[in-house]
Homo-oligomer: A and B are copies of this chain.
């Protein structure tokens, strides 16, 4: 590496880049949303609400303290779209890039992913990666806008309005932003299965993770003919992603059969369950008021939101692979196996350790946040737990308490969206002084656990 290389290994830490990126982006976003031109006439909002909306948009969470449609002018909506786009793509790029940086000897797919070689600097790799991600995302959004916009000609009187709504819906879905300009999420389309289906596809493409999209693209364009084409990561995250989607659907159908679904047709029930399950993977849009669900369903949704989306995607939470590794660890242990096997591969000890640390730390952070909110807010445990899971998972679903949160409550949620977005690992590395080699050992002594 040359001395002039800004991205010299010694001179920066990935976590510092990420956090700097977000702090700067947040300041720019707050500035944009503070401009009078962004607001409808007569709208005034507090500084905390501006920061909340900016962080919610930048982290593509979608929790809102103000109604988007009542607050923003059309210019403001385009600002918001820009922030969502920037946030979504930035997250994906940085996520993938940091992963590549942190585990540089990680396997077969690396070169292919970053499309760089030893002689190219990290910086040019980053630029290339971002271009590739931008291309894929914009392509998906473009197709989404065309499909939804054209379909919306049935709903709206002018083609401008139809494509405007289509554009917002497509970008909000692809970036898993969860924002809406209908004023009530996707509830107006509760019986329009076409819109829901397209939305679920867009949500999934955004939340499944960039490496999966690249591998899928290569597979479809036949650039790889190897039968053992897909990486362990892609297999694991994809299986987990869709398993959680199915699990959620079944759980909702089961728990709501005699509650929310009582008297509804099978296809209504199925689509309500399927959409609300999919949206916990990270979308945050909803075709119903989720607070109408019964408590067991809400608890299950908390769990699903806490897990969140795939790594290197637009989504947050502990991430699908983390959850998968924990489950596999439990199974291996129960079978008395020391190593964790899946898809004829073994999971690396370090990845297991990372998954464990991420899960525990995430749990502790959410637990502390819930305790604080129980003290500062007037709401009971369930809506608070739901809000916290949603913020940490950057999902954006809410039982409706967001606008009524106290200032401290809003700050806690802002912090959670931030941590959920940069990811627990980056959060840890932020406080870590480089990887310490093992310099000395103490004798090992066994203890009693459990």
Residue A449 is within 8 A (CB to CB) of chain B in the complex: yes
Report if A446-B103 is in contact (Cβ < 8 Å); known contacts: A255-B375, A336-B432, A336-B434: yes
Interface-lining segment among A17-25, A36-44, A293-301: A293-301
| A444 surroundings in chain B (CB, below 8 A) | 345-348
| A351 surroundings in chain B (CB, below 8 A) | 446-447, 449
- The answer to whether B450 and A322 have CB atoms under 8 Å apart is yes
> Which of A210-249 touch B at CB < 8 Å?
211, 231-233, 236-237
- The answer to whether A337 and B374 have CB atoms under 8 Å apart is no
- The answer to whether B382 and A325 have CB atoms under 8 Å apart is no
A103 to B370 CA separation, bound complex (whole angstroms): 39
Residue A356 is within 8 A (CB to CB) of chain B in the complex: yes
| A312 surroundings in chain B (CB, below 8 A) | 448
User: What band does the interface of chain A fall in when counting residues whose beta carbon is under 8 Å from B?
Assistant: 35 or more
A436 to B341 CA separation, bound complex (whole angstroms): 14
Residue A311 is within 8 A (CB to CB) of chain B in the complex: yes
- The answer to whether A346 and B428 have CB atoms under 8 Å apart is no
- The answer to whether B322 and A355 have CB atoms under 8 Å apart is no
New A-B pairs, 16, CB < 8 Å, besides A233-B448, A425-B450: A296-B374, A299-B370, A299-B371, A333-B353, A334-B431, A336-B433, A336-B436, A337-B436, A345-B443, A345-B444, A346-B443, A346-B444, A350-B446, A355-B450, A358-B450, A381-B382
Give 4 nearest A-B pairs by CB, closest first.
A358-B450, A425-B450, A106-B446, A311-B448
What are some 23 contacts across the A-B interface (CB < 8 A)? A106-B446, A231-B447, A232-B447, A233-B447, A236-B447, A296-B374, A299-B367, A299-B381, A321-B448, A322-B449, A329-B353, A334-B428, A335-B436, A338-B438, A345-B444, A346-B441, A346-B444, A346-B445, A356-B356, A357-B450, A358-B450, A363-B363, A381-B385
